């Protein structure tokens, strides 16, 4: 195994990278999961066939430690023992040399259940049929934020708008499916895997095995987008139990249909808005309630909820706000991390709501939004002063100029309603908080990095952050090389191996550059000051919170994030009014990510993020059927953008250095997914002359809306008329 990564993506580019499915191990056994076929119920009996020689079965009774995976809270069993909460939950792990024999054995396993009435939706969860799935009320988590005086704000309103806006599931569809291999080396249980967060896997393994004679190594990873944050634990927990007992190499790699069916997804969210507007057309109050469908186990829902609630007003300065967010337990696949981590849902919903209010008031959507933007003098939703310089107006100006948004908006408003093709253009403004929410970087993560200089003046970076396609290994090397004034070839980065790298935290939350990159920069500065030619040197550096960053976790007050990045997207479409197919002609993205370290790498983030967001808004339909499983089962029926669907993307940046980021950088990888869905829908709305309040907006949805099933239902209440009637 290589111990350093010296040439950026060299093995991947040459087809030589050894992914989990490519690797050879002497005496390798394969593993297959037996999964629940009942969405909710108690396990009465498990019936298994007689196993041939060399084949083994593992269940909850084989767990030597604790049969719970500590993904934030320890509620998700490694093996279902007494109950099942969703179809696809792991009950058994079958292990043996021949995958075909394993598949045959799986068909001979049967489980007897005492079924209960499942709850697939939030509404069904609230109904508590057959009692609660979780605690007494099915509520995983709930928070409220109050800013200003909501009642006084509504007292100023002359018009109140009420609207519900929703988003659905989204599948990660990374190129490489989930997979891990386990074996024993130097008396340790070793897991190598396609993963984002090796130390997360380490902690789950130590809990399940009841010891710390373990080691976790990240293999080359073919994409993650958040999907390989929590789910590698679901594979590694049972796998570690089997390896710990058999002391043989065992591999589990999911087939694509299994991966789509049972791995974590983006949270479906339903936002309910009640917004008051005064006689000047200014929003004076906004009451927001939203519900997350968390699925069967808590996983990362609490952190997603915190991001959604602390950024619910997006880039807007609303004086009086009340926000109530809740995460609910249901009998579906647990939902988890996905690029944006709650922000794509939040941004789509409020951007759409702002557009619809503007339309109701007869105002241009962009002008209406600009009248409500945060400024340098604003107080954030969570009561903090704005740190640094806001450049949102610069982002808007660049985007409007590059796209000719205003001229096209006017021209498309005047186009014939009888045309065979109709055009539209939409704009979105959005943000993304960098790093973990609140003070978790300081109180929970406590990141540490290490630099080693050998006698030949070669420097090696040791961190736990993983490159899953975002170019991190090159950017980290560039930060250290630039700080030390060394050629890039003189800086290597260690393969992420818990035996050698410190815990610098997970590869999530747009934290790798702004948090870990900055610690690396500080470590490199320390090494530079102490540099001794021809001597071995080792430098460790810990995270230190900036003095301005204050947070009250109890009351959700202060700096919700250490730093925030911003963006503007414009999308231009053409709709075929016979088939209702939408062609995306052009897209523009302009961003403030502080100072960009490597523009070529970030251009790749822009392209990938915007395409993923356009798929989210336009076509990626993932729906539960009546049995609580996804109707879309493969790449044949889960639609994502192909090269023919991708528009020309024009990119630009506003340089706005952040003093506590490496070379002035902030995070940006998730930011690029947050805005394009709402810009796309706004463009379609202009083209067809109808509003939409859920995504994806597919040709079928457009057809239904234009015939007899209008989708958007924003309710307008004239306060004066109501008062007179009373």
pLDDT at 306: 96
pLDDT, tens digit (0-9, with 9 covering 90-100), for 306-322 = 999 999 999 999 999 99
**Rounded average pLDDT over 654-671:** 98
The answer on pLDDT for 5 being more than 80 is no
**Rounded average pLDDT over 485-498:** 96
CA dist., res. 570 & res. 428, Å (int): 7
Query: What percent of the chain has a predicted confidence (pLDDT) above 90?
Result: 96
Strand 110-115 versus strand 537-542 pairing type? unpaired
Query: What percent of the chain has a predicted confidence (pLDDT) above 70?
Result: 98
- Residue ranges of E strands in 681-721: 715-718
The number of beta carbons lying within 10 Å of the beta carbon of residue 473 is 24
**Rounded average pLDDT over 296-304:** 97
Sign of CA dihedral 340, 343, 349, 350: negative
Please list the residues that pair with 95 across neighbouring strands: 31, 56
pLDDT at 713: 81
Provide the b/e sequence for 388-415 (b: ≥16 CB within 10 Å).
bebbbebbbebbbebbebeebbeebeee
Burial class (CB in 10 A: 0-12, 13-18, 19+), 258: middle
Band of pLDDT at residue 701, cut at 50, 70 and 90: very high
Q: Which CATH class is domain 4-116+172-262?
A: alpha beta
pLDDT at 710: 66
pTM of the model: 0.96
The number of beta carbons lying within 10 Å of the beta carbon of residue 349 is 29
Reduced to 3 states, what is the DSSP secondary structure of residue 437? coil
CA dist., res. 649 & res. 603, Å (int): 10
The answer on pLDDT for 4 being more than 90 is no
pLDDT, tens digit (0-9, with 9 covering 90-100), for 185-238 = 999 999 999 999 999 999 999 999 999 999 999 999 999 999 999 999 999 999
Reduced to 3 states, what is the DSSP secondary structure of residue 524? helix
pLDDT at 459: 98
CA dist., res. 606 & res. 523, Å (int): 29
Half-sphere exposure of 245 (CA within 13 A, CB side): 17
**Rounded average pLDDT over 83-97:** 98
The answer on pLDDT for 708 being more than 90 is no
Domains of the chain by residue range: 4-116+172-262, 340-437+555-708, 440-542
Is 34:92 a contact under the CB 8 Å cutoff?
yes
CA dist., res. 136 & res. 124, Å (int): 14
Half-sphere exposure of 25 (CA within 13 A, CB side): 25
Strand 214-218 versus strand 188-193 pairing type? parallel
Return mean pLDDT, the chain: 96
- CATH ID of 340-437+555-708, from 3.40.630.90, 3.30.365.10, 3.30.590.10, 3.40.630.30: 3.30.365.10
Among the listed residues 60, 62, 57, 59, the one whose alpha carbon sits nearest the alpha carbon of residue 102: 57
User: Tokens in use for 690?
Assistant: 């109808």
Q: What angle do CA 645, 587, 312 make, to 5 degrees?
A: 105
What's the CATH fold of domain 440-542? Aldehyde Oxidoreductase; domain 4 (3.30.365)
The number of beta carbons lying within 10 Å of the beta carbon of residue 350 is 25
pLDDT, tens digit (0-9, with 9 covering 90-100), for 131-140 = 999 999 999 9
The answer on pLDDT for 566 being more than 50 is yes
The answer on pLDDT for 723 being more than 60 is no
pLDDT at 486: 97
pLDDT, tens digit (0-9, with 9 covering 90-100), for 503-541 = 999 999 999 999 999 999 999 999 999 999 999 999 999
- Residue ranges of E strands in 244-396: 250-253, 269-277, 283-295, 321-329
pLDDT at 417: 86
Is 228:174 a contact under the CB 8 Å cutoff?
yes
Provide the b/e sequence for 438-452 (b: ≥16 CB within 10 Å).
bbbbbeebebbbbbb
**Rounded average pLDDT over 172-191:** 98
Tell me which DSSP letter residue 61 carries.
Answer: G
pLDDT, tens digit (0-9, with 9 covering 90-100), for 107-145 = 999 999 999 999 999 999 999 999 999 999 999 999 999
User: Tokens in use for 127?
Assistant: 């109904």
Band of pLDDT at residue 8, cut at 50, 70 and 90: confident
DSSP secondary structure string, 502-517? -----S-TT-IIIIII
pLDDT, tens digit (0-9, with 9 covering 90-100), for 417-428 = 888 999 999 999
pLDDT at 711: 63
The answer on pLDDT for 1 being more than 50 is no
**Rounded average pLDDT over 564-587:** 98
pLDDT, tens digit (0-9, with 9 covering 90-100), for 317-361 = 999 999 999 999 999 999 999 999 999 999 999 999 999 999 999
CA 278 to each of CA 159, 361, 369: distance values in angstroms, whole numbers, following the listed order = 7, 11, 15
- CA 705 to chain CA centroid, Å, is 30
Let me know if the fold of 4-116+172-262 is the same as that of 340-437+555-708.
no
The angle, 0 to 180 degrees and rounded to 10, between the axes of the packed helices 599-618 and 676-688 is: 50
Band of pLDDT at residue 724, cut at 50, 70 and 90: low
> Which residues, at least 6 apart from 341, have a Cβ–Cβ distance to it below 8 Å?
226, 300, 303, 304, 307, 508, 509, 670
């Amino acid at each position: 195994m290589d111990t350093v990564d010296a040439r950026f993506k060299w093995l991947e580019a040459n087809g030589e990278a050894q992914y989990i499915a490519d690797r050879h191990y002497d005496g390798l056994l394969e593993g297959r999961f037996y999964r629940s076929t009942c969405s909710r119920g108690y396990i009465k009996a498990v019936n298994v066939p007689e196993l041939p020689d060399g084949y083994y079965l593992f269940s909850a009774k084989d767990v030597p430690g604790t049969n719970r995976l500590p993904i934030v809270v320890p509620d998700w069993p490694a093996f279902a023992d007494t109950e099942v909460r969703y179809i696809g939950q792991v009950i058994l792990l079958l292990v043996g040399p021949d995958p075909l024999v394993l598949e045959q054995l799986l068909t001979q396993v049967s489980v007897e259940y005492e079924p209960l009435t499942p709850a697939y939706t939030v509404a069904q969860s609230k109904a508590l049929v057959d009692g609660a799935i979780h605690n007494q009320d099915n509520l995983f988590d709930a928070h409220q934020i109050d800013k200003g005086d909501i009642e006084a704000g509504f007292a100023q309103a002359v018009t109140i708008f009420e609207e519900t806006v929703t988003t659905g599931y989204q599948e990660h569809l990374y190129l490489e499916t989930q997979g891990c291999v386990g074996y024993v080396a130097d008396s340790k249980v070793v897991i190598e895997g396609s993963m984002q967060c090796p130390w997360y896997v380490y902690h789950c393994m130590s809990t399940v095995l009841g010891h710390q004679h373990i080691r976790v190594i990240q293999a080359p990873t073919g994409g993650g987008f958040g999907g390989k944050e929590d789910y590698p634990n679901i594979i590694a927990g049972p796998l570690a139990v089997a390896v710990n007992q058999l002391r043989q190499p065992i591999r589990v790699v999911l087939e694509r249909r299994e991966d789509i069916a049972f791995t974590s997804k983006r949270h479906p969210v339903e936002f309910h808005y009640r917004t008051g507007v005064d006689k000047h057309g200014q929003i004076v109050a906004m009451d927001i309630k939203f519900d997350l469908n968390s699925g069967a186990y808590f996983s990362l829902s609490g952190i997603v909820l915190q991001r959604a609630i602390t950024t619910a007003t997006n880039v807007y300065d609303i004086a009086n706000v009340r926000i109530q967010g809740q995460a609910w337990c249901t009998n579906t696949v647990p939902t988890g991390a996905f690029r944006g981590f709650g922000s794509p849902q939040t941004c789509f919903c409020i951007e759409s709501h702002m557009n619809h209010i503007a339309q109701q008031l007869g105002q241009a959507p962009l002008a209406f939004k600009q009248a409500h933007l945060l400024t340098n003098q604003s107080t954030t939703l969570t009561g903090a002063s704005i740190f640094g310089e806001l450049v949102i107006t610069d982002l808007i100006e660049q985007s409007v100029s590059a796209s000719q948004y205003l001229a096209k908006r006017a021209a498309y408003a005047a186009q014939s309603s009888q045309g065979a093709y109709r055009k539209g253009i939409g704009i979105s403004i959005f943000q993304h908080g960098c790093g973990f929410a609140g003070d978790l970087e300081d109180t929970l993560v406590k990141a540490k990095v290490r630099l080693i200089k050998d006698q030949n003046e070669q420097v090696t970076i040791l961190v736990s952050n993983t490159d899953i396609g975002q170019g991190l290994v090159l950017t980290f090397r560039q930060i250290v090389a630039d700080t030390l004034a060394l050629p890039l070839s003189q800086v290597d980065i260690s393969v992420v191996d818990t035996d050698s790298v410190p815990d610098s935290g997970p590869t999530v939350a747009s934290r790798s550059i702004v948090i870990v990159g900055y610690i690396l920069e500080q470590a490199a500065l320390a090494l530079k000051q102490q540099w001794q030619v021809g001597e071995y040197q080792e430098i460790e550096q810990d995270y230190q919170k900036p003095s301005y960053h204050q947070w009250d976790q109890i009351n959700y007050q202060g700096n919700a994030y250490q730093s925030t990045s911003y963006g503007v997207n414009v999308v231009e479409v053409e709709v075929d009014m016979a088939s209702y197919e939408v062609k995306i002609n052009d897209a523009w993205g302009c961003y403030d990510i502080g100072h960009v370290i490597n523009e070529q790498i970030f251009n790749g983030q822009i392209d990938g993020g915007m395409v993923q967001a356009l798929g989210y808004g336009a076509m990626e339909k993932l729906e539960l059927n009546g049995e609580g499983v996804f109707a879309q089962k493969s790449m044949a029926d889960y639609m994502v953008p192909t090269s023919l669907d991708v528009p020309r993307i024009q990119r630009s940046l506003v340089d706005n250095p952040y003093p506590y980021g490496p070379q002035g950088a902030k995070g940006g990888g998730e930011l690029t997914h947050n805005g394009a869905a709402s810009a796309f829908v706004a463009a379609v709305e202009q083209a067809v002359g109808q509003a939409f309040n859920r995504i994806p907006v597919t040709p079928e949805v457009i057809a239904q809306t234009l015939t007899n099933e209008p989708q958007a239902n924003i309710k307008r209440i004239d306060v004066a008329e109501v008062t007179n009637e009373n």
